[in-house]
Amino acid sequence: MGHFGDYQNEIYGAGLRGVLTKLPVDYATLVQRATAAMPPHVLNYVQGGCGDEWTQDQNAAAFRHWGMVPRMMVGTTSRDLSTTIFGHKYHSPIFMSPIGVTGICTPDQHGDVAAAQASAMTGVPMTVSTLGNDTMEDVAGQLGEVPGFFQLYTPRDKDLAESLIRRAEAAGYRALVVTLDTWVTGWRPRDLNAGNFPQLRGHVLANYFADPVFEKMLGKDPASAPAEATMLWASQFARPVTWDDMAWYKSATKMPIVLKGICHPDDAKKAVDMGADALFCSNHGGRQANGGIAAIDMLPGVVAAAGDVPVWFDSGVRSGSDVIKALALGAQAVGVGRPFAYGLALDGAAGAAHVLKCILAEADLMMAVNGMPTLADVRAAGAARI
């Protein structure tokens, strides 16, 4: 069986035939290409962060002050990047993080389906956002044999929330990822300067408009009154989630519950005590609050406090080396966000798949040359603060 790193052999082999990659393999050039290609209203939303974007920038930059020490004379001709999440074995530890405007990242406005197709092509699971241009059921139908996860922005109305959860469960999603830090949006100058919030223009609301409880609340088919439906969505979008809600989440679903946004060790301990099945260390990529600590710097404290409960991670992941460092600091699984969105914008499902393959190839090759044939070896080696 081949390794993820073999992707570079494919690229070099094609080069010998005079065929270069359609998309770049490095993040910096990917950003340049996507910046030129994406419509401004989409680009601002995907690329922008909160405030002066200091935290967003620190999320990525902070990986540079974590380093790993290679070990030599270790046999790494055979490598295993597989991980098990909620009883299912995945061939790698990365997943696609939820992005609320995935749907409008492709010219045909079906980026959610394209991302699911990339998941099926690569075996990388997708965390499907509540916000989408395609329904969660349609997206699930494109995932193939790769189980996905469903991310929930908890509506104010519990009946609507329970309906979304039931639909996700029926569609076959393997976990409920509850976002904790987005009951109100942070101060986002790029969007504010453009006077543009895609959802208020009716974008990525398919899951709501297709929901029977939402339609009952509206009193009519949302398709017949899109402006009215959008205003109803705005009034219901999300509410603050408190520890008192955990019992309700546990009663509402049999899916494992992942709490997204846990960054403080005390919150991690509380989440474990309240029955969370996994913690998701994330500061929303710096999109929700500015002035905070880089997420990767908070990860070790969350892992230590979580004990045996697995910790997922995202925020600032741009490369395969970032993935390996997050795993070395204790993450069970690592989410990729903006990079795959740029891939979608440039070449749809194939573009997102290419980006994911590049990240996996770099991660695999880093393990190979560092003398770490398994993820257990990566975690045992750890990462040191430089």
Active site residues: 284
User: What 3-state class would DSSP assign to 200?
Assistant: helix
100 annotated to a ligand binding site: yes
The response to whether 318 counts as a known ligand-binding position is yes
Number of C-beta neighbours around residue 28 at 10 A: 9
What amino acid occupies position 31?
A: V
For 47, phi and psi rounded to 5 degrees? -85, -25
Q: What is the three-class DSSP state of 176?
A: strand
Residue 167: count other Cβ atoms within 10 Å of its Cβ: 20
Torsion angle (degrees, nearest 10) of CA 217, 254, 276, 337: -70
Q: Is 132 annotated as a binding residue?
A: no
Is 273 labelled as part of a ligand binding site? no
90 is in an annotated binding site: no
Q: Is 239 annotated as contributing to ligand binding?
A: no
102 assigned binding-site residue: no
308 known ligand binder: no
45 marked among binding-site residues: yes
Task: Say whether 134 counts as a known binding-site residue.
Answer: no
Q: Which two tokens stand for residue 218?
A: 């509206």
| Cα-Cα-Cα-Cα dihedral sign, residues 55, 59, 60, 64 | positive
List, as one string, the DSSP characters of 293-342. Answer: --HHHHHHHHHHHHTTS-EEE-SS--SHHHHHHHHHTT-SEEEE-HHHHH
Is 208 annotated as ligand-binding?
A: no
Tell whether 99 is in a known binding site.
yes
Binding site members: 45, 98-100, 129, 151, 153, 179, 188, 260, 282, 284, 287, 314-318, 337-338
Binding site members for glyoxylate: 45, 153, 188, 260, 284, 287
Binding site members for FMN: 98-100, 129, 151, 179, 282, 314-318, 337-338
